[in-house]
Structure 1
């Protein structure tokens, strides 16, 4: 098949998780907060999928936009409040969900060793596991 590129295909299987509260998503370039009170709704050992409500976007310019593609490629870090853990990565894609808000995908595979990422996957609760 030849060499693979970062965007060629997903290698790690996705896991639907009980929503994990992320207290903030912050840019690593200028330490400006991008969003607050978002949730991780899906995870893999290479990335996290965040659900961000429009009202939780901090910069007014982002709140007024119908797309967040300007964030793609930005290095960010987030605080997972329930686990008292900070994870950093790169925003790889965004998607408008209408009134629900936005999906923002963060790839953290370059930021953490594979065994750490696999352990994090094992620790993230699946839907219904915490009830």
Structure 2
């Protein structure tokens, strides 16, 4: 049997019509990490956001090619279109070249499973909002 974290990736992912996240904020010191992010993929355990380099707020993050210092940080974010706030933990980051960075946030420890499944149903698929 694997560790408790070994089952985190089994939730099916859903590509979503980009959902605007007005801010990504640390729960430890309430410092804003990024603004104007987009959720590009979602599952019932977490969200994958695209963050442009210029939307990273701390200068030391904007200058870096690696955001791994954020992994493990507890954060919350505001989803503009749904007018809700979600909290979770940053589980991974990845440089995506000129586009910026992907930041994955796992919210499964903070939210009941039925709530996570309902959120998945609410998130629009690509083209659904057009």
Quickly name the TM-score band, shorter chain normalised: over 0.9
Equivalent-residue separation in structure 2 for 1:50 and 1:117 (angstroms): 17
Correspondence 1:115-126 to 2 at 5 A: 115-126=114-125
> Given the superposition, is the C-alpha separation of residues 112 and 32 from structure 1 closer, same or farther in structure 2, using an over 3 Å criterion?
same
The aligned residue for residue 46 of structure 2 is: 47
- The structural deviation recorded for 1:8 is 5.3
The separation in 2 between residues aligned to 1:7 and 1:80, in whole angstroms, is: 28
Give the match for residue 109 of structure 1: 108
- Which 4+ stretches in 1 moved above 6 angstroms? none
Gaps of 5+ in 1: none
Residue in 2 that maps onto 1:30: 29
SS in 1 for 2:127: coil
| TM-score, scaled to structure 2 | 0.97
Deviation at 1:114, TM superposition (A): 0.3
- Structure 2: gaps spanning 5 or more residues: none
Deviations 1:23-46 (A, max 9, x none): 000000000000000000000000
TM-score normalised by structure 1 residue count: 0.96
Distance 1:79 1:63, change over 3 A: same
Change in 2 beyond 3 A, CA 1:110/1:9: closer
- SS of 1:99's partner is helix
Q: Deviations over 1:2-25 (max 9, x none)?
A: 244314551210000000000000
Distance in 1 separating the partners of 2:6 and 2:94: 16
Separation of aligned partners in 2, 1:9 and 1:127: 24
Other-structure match for 1:87: 86
Distance (whole Å) between structure 1 residues aligned to residue 9 and residue 59 of structure 2: 33
How many residue pairs are counted as aligned between the two chains? 130
RMSD of Structure 2 on Structure 1 (CA): 1.0
